[in-house]
Amino acid sequence: MENDNLKIQLDSIQRILSYCITQTYNVLIGNILRKKSCINNIQFKEILQKEYIRITDELSYIYLNYSALACVEEYYNDDDFLWESSFFESLTKEQKQKYASFSVSSFEYAKYIERHTLYNDVLPMFSCLVDAILYERYAKYLMAEIERIELTEVKTALYRSSILVNDEPYEQKKKPVIIGKGTNPFQSDFTDEQIEVLTTCINEIQLFTTRISPKILKDFFACKLKGVLKSNNNRQLAYLMQSLNLRGLITDEWQSAIARNELVLGKTKDTPLTRTDLSTATDQINMKQPKGWETIDKYLKQLKL
């Protein structure tokens, strides 16, 4: 019974922790994507590298000064970090008691934003814990972007080299139409069980103006819809997709995938949502969670990763 009560308490604090991380992560990624849209790959890669160095320096400082946070490097992607990792067990008896007795209802995000370290007395190392998990996830995103650019550079170099060594006059061919191109633009690999869970979630919150079936949702993620869906709430859509992205279930470029394939009509207009529309909705959920976010989180926890 005591363990059950502790699990309930840590789960409640975990929701606060995850929310704080998600809000800042979305802002950081949004900032990077805005830069990406207006500069070339060389400049963008330089920005990413500088940011990656800054973040890894921050992580080194945290790990050197807070030994209890060493487990973050292994567990930073775990949705049940406080329960599954060794963090709580590494706390002193007094620190454990503070976590066990913390009044979850007393937490105010607006005050936390004003002063990052506000709750460190009642939740020891809370701000550093947020930063450590946030920076690990952010560093992973930055490195993936850097590697993507480097792969593009290698392909470009090989392409140019193949032209130079070819004595035959080069005639640019029309780009072939690849059958099934973009069959996995979301880079998703959902099981049937996960699709069922997500379908139930979407229908319960009435995300779209019509109920959907698992087949429709599969076609959505494969960008093979025979038509379009119409959004009932753009912010809910952004929250769901961003949450799937944070769990590593879909690509960071989900906004582009929806916009490019014209999958969803906007709530207030009969035109497909653009990347700008989705970016705006994502910025809005960084400030305030949308209606029904608790339901979305409830179903996402049921996804077996």
- 16 and 97 co-located in one domain: yes
- 17 and 94 co-located in one domain: yes
Task: Please tell me the pTM assigned to this model.
Answer: 0.54
What is the structure's pLDDT at 34? 86
What is the structure's pLDDT at 161? 60
What is the distance between the alpha carbons of residues 286 and 280, in angstroms, rounded to a whole number?
Answer: 10
What is the structure's pLDDT at 279? 85
What is the structure's pLDDT at 12? 95
Beta 264-265 vs 229-230: how paired, if at all?
parallel
Q: Do the domain assignments include residue 157?
A: no
Q: Do the domain assignments include residue 181?
A: no
Q: Do the domain assignments include residue 74?
A: yes
- 199 and 146 co-located in one domain: no
**Nearest alpha-carbon partner for 120 in 136, 110, 107:** 107
Segments forming the whole domain that contains residue 241: 192-300
- 7 and 147 co-located in one domain: yes
- 7 and 121 co-located in one domain: yes
Q: Do the domain assignments include residue 169?
A: no
What is the structure's pLDDT at 179? 43
Q: If residue 203 lies in a helix (H) or strand (E), which one and from where to where? A: helix 192-205
- 43 and 124 co-located in one domain: yes
**Nearest alpha-carbon partner for 22 in 190, 281, 216, 245:** 245
Task: Tell the residue number behind the tokens 């999958």, with chain if given.
Answer: 263
- 101 and 224 co-located in one domain: no
**Nearest alpha-carbon partner for 262 in 206, 223, 212:** 223
Q: If residue 290 lies in a helix (H) or strand (E), which one and from where to where? A: none
What is the structure's pLDDT at 305? 61
Q: Do the domain assignments include residue 296?
A: yes
Report how many domains make up the chain.
2
What is the structure's pLDDT at 164? 53
Q: Do the domain assignments include residue 165?
A: no
Residues of the chain with pLDDT under 50: 167, 169-170, 172, 175, 177-181
Q: Do the domain assignments include residue 75?
A: yes
Q: Do the domain assignments include residue 164?
A: no
